[in-house]
Amino acid sequence: MSRLYIAEKPSVAKAIAEVLGVTQKRHGFYECGNDIVAWCVGHLLELAAPDCYTPDDVPLRDGKKIWRVEDLPIIPNEWILQPKEDKKELLEQLGALMGKATEIVHCGDIDREGQSLVDEVLEWHGNTLPVLRYLSSGLDAPSVRHGLESLIDNSTKKAFGDASIGRQRADWLIGMNLSRAFTLRAERAGSRALLTVGRVQTPVLSLVVNRDREIENFKPIPYHTLKANLQHEDATFVAKWKAKDDQAGLDSEGRLTDTAIADALVEAMKGHTASVIEAKSTTKKIAHPQAYSLSALTILVSQKFGYTAVDVLDICQSLYEKHKLTTYPRSDCGFLPTSQFDDAPAILASLKAVNPELTKLIDGADPKIKSKTWDDSKVSAHHGIIPTQEVLNKSALTEKERNVYELIVRTYIAQFYPVHEFLSTSIELDIAGESFSSSGRVITKPGWKEVFIEADEDSDEDKDDTNQQLPALKKGDSLRCESVTRRDAKTKAPSRFTDGTLIGAMVNIHKYVEGADNKKMLREGDGLGTEATRAAIIAELIRREYLKIDGKNLVSTTLGRSVVDALPEMVKSPVLTALFERMLKNVENGAMPLADFVAQQETFVRTQVEKANVGSVKIAGAKTAAPISDIYKCGICNHGLIRRPTSKRGHFWWGCSHYPNCLQMYADINGRPNYAKPIKPKEPETQPLK
C-alpha cells in the first residue's frame, strides 16, 4: 500500500513528513518510504470569472467583456472551476502522484476552507481512491503523531466542505452581481467609481460609517455626580449618591443635570453623619480565563500593544507555522478538548525550557487542576489557541511574536492555578435622607490571577471605586461624613473604531442592531465574518480607500460613506449576514442541502439587482465621469447622450451612452447635440471610454 498525503501548505507537509520519516525530498513533495507527502499552496482552483457565463457577443474592452445592465444578474447553471494560472504545474503534479497511490490522506486545515481546497483537487482529477482525513491543530511532533494515529473517513467531513463551497458561490453571486449593478447605477449619474459590494465587507463598512457619524453629531450633555468621603475609625472610603425615583433635576437617563439642585443637595448634607442602612459581604469566585480564540486575542493585543488585526493574524500564523510554538491560530473557540488534558505536564515542562523566566509560575501550576475551559461540548471545529510541546530558543522570535506568545503561554499556565476568590462588600448608607452606596473587594485567594503580573490585564472592575478597601460595618453604625462634593462631568461620544474594537464589533454584532428578535438571533450566531477572514476584510476596506487609518483609529472616507449611502438597507444589514452564516452552519451539519442554500442566495441577488437597475446615484469622493443626459437622447436607439471634450480645449462632442452597442455621435452646438450633423461613427476600439 502506498499513501499520498496532501497537505494544505508546505509547512504542514514538512511536519507530517518529518514524523513519518523523510527518505528523499523531491521538487513539490517528500518521499517517506513507500508513502508520499505533497502539498497545495492554498486553493489551486478558483471559480470562473463572470465572462465565462455572459453571451459571447458582448463587446470587449481591454480584453474583457464590458459590464451591461442587460446581462445582470449572472447566475451560473453549472459552476465552473478553473486552475489558478500560477498553480497549474502543482495541480498537474498532484494528479500524477495520485496515479501512483493506493490510498489518499486529506491533510487540509481543520476548517471549511481546508476541507474544500483538497476535496476540489481530488474531484478535479476524478479520484476513485479511498480517502482518509487527518485532523491536527498543531505542527509539533506529538500533535502530528496524534493526528496520524487518529485518521477518519474523509466522507464524514463532506458537509463541512459543502459549507465552504456554499460560501464561495454565495460570495461570488453577491460580489460579482451587486458590485456590477451598483457601479453601473453610479455611472449613470456620472460617478466613475468601482462600488465593491460584499456580504460581510459592506455591513462592516456600514458599522464604521454609522459610528463616525454618531461621533460627529454627538452633543455632550453636562451632568453632576455627588460623592461622599466617609471615615470609620481609621478607615476612609468613598460612597456614591443614588437619586430617588422622584428626584427633581434629572434628565430622561436619570442624570442630575440641574446645577442649582446639585448644590442644594451638597449644602443640605453638610455636617450630617452617615448611617449604615445595610452592609453585606459575599464570597465570590472568578473562573479561569478561556484559551484565546483569534478574535479574543486580536482584541486584547490591539488594546495592549496597538497591533492591527492583520499583524495579529500574521504573528499567530508565524508562531504556528514557522516556530511551531502554538496551535492552529484561526480558531473561533476558547475551549479545549479533554483529550488534550493529559498533555499538560509535557507542555508545562516544554514551556519551562522555552520560558525560563516563568519557571516560578510554572512550578506553581498544578496539572491536576481541570478548569472549565476543558469542555468537549463547547469545542467547535477548532479549539482555543494554546502552546505546544515544541522547544525553541525565544531569541528566534521577533518582539511582536514574543509579546503575543507570552499572552498565550500565561493563559495556558493559568488553567492550572486555583480559581480567583475575593470577598465582595457592599454598603448602603443614609446621609440627611439621601441614599449613598459603596462597594469594594478583598482578595482572599489570588488563584490564577497570580499568573498575570501586569495590572492592565485584570478586568475593568478592578480599576474604579469597587477596588477600594472597606471597613467592617454593620447595620446601624454611624460614620463621620468628611465632605460631600459635586463632581462635574459630560456625556462622552462613543470611541472611534480601532482594529481591535472593530473585530470585537464583528464578533458581537448583536449589540449594534435594533429589535429583540434580531439581537437574539445574532447573539446566538458567530457574528460577521470568520476568524480567518476578519483581518483581511478590514485590510481590503482600507485598500479600497473606503476606510483610512488615523493613528490607531479607523475612519470612514467620503467615498466609503457614499458607498454606504448608495446601497439599500438589506445589502448592508448585519442581520442578512447572520442569516447567511446560520444557513451555512446548517449546510455544515447536514441539515440543509448545498443546492437549497445557493438557490436562496440566487433569489436574493435577483431581487437586489432588479432594484439597482432602476435610477442612478451620485457617489461623493469618486472621480467624476461625464453624466448621461436625461434631455438629449440618441436619434438611433433613444439612450441618453454624453457630452465629451475633444482634444481641443473648449470643444465638445456628443456620444451615445449605449456604446459600444450604439456608435452614434453628434457635433456640439452651444452645449447641445447638433442632430443635423451626426459624426461618422468610429470603430469601438478607438472610441473614448466612459
Active-site amino acid positions? 328
End-to-end CA distance of the chain: 62
152-160 LR contacts (CB < 8 Å, sep 24+): 154/106, 154/119, 155/131, 157/106, 157/115, 157/133, 158/119, 159/587, 159/588, 159/589, 159/590, 160/112, 160/115, 160/381, 160/588
- Characterize the bridge pairing of strands 222-232 and 235-242: antiparallel
Name the grid cell of 547. 476606510
* CA distances in angstroms from 546 to 194, 196, 309, listed in the order given: 11, 10, 17
How many angstroms separate the CA atoms of 612 and 603, rounded?
Answer: 15
* CA distances in angstroms from 379 to 101, 144, 334, 525, listed in the order given: 34, 19, 8, 15
The angle formed by the CA atoms of residues 326, 328 and 333, to the nearest 5 degrees, is: 110
How many angstroms separate the CA atoms of 668 and 433, rounded?
Answer: 85
* CA distances in angstroms from 561 to 145, 380, 658, listed in the order given: 51, 36, 29
Q: Closest by alpha carbon to 376, among 340, 412, 331, 347?
A: 340
How many angstroms separate the CA atoms of 297 and 294, rounded?
Answer: 5
Would you put residue 347 in left (φ > 0), alpha (ψ -120 to 50) or beta?
Answer: alpha
Q: Which residue has the cell 462613543?
A: 494
Omega cis (within 30) before 130: no
Instruction: For 336-349, give one letter per residue: b (16+ CB within 10 A) or e.
Output: beeebeebbeebbe
155 CB-near residues (< 8 Å, 6+ apart): 131
* CA distances in angstroms from 485 to 229, 261, 535, listed in the order given: 8, 13, 47
If you compute the radius of gyration of the chain from its CA atoms, what whole number of angstroms results?
32
Evaluate whether 148 touches 16 at the Cβ level (below 8 Å). Answer: yes
Q: Which residue has the cell 465638445?
A: 652
Q: Which residue has the cell 520519516?
A: 21
Q: Is the four-CA dihedral 323, 543, 551, 199 of positive or negative sign? A: negative
Cross-strand bridge partners of residue 83: 45
Q: Which residue has the cell 446615484?
A: 617
> How many residues make up the chain in this entry?
690
Evaluate whether 497 touches 509 at the Cβ level (below 8 Å). Answer: no
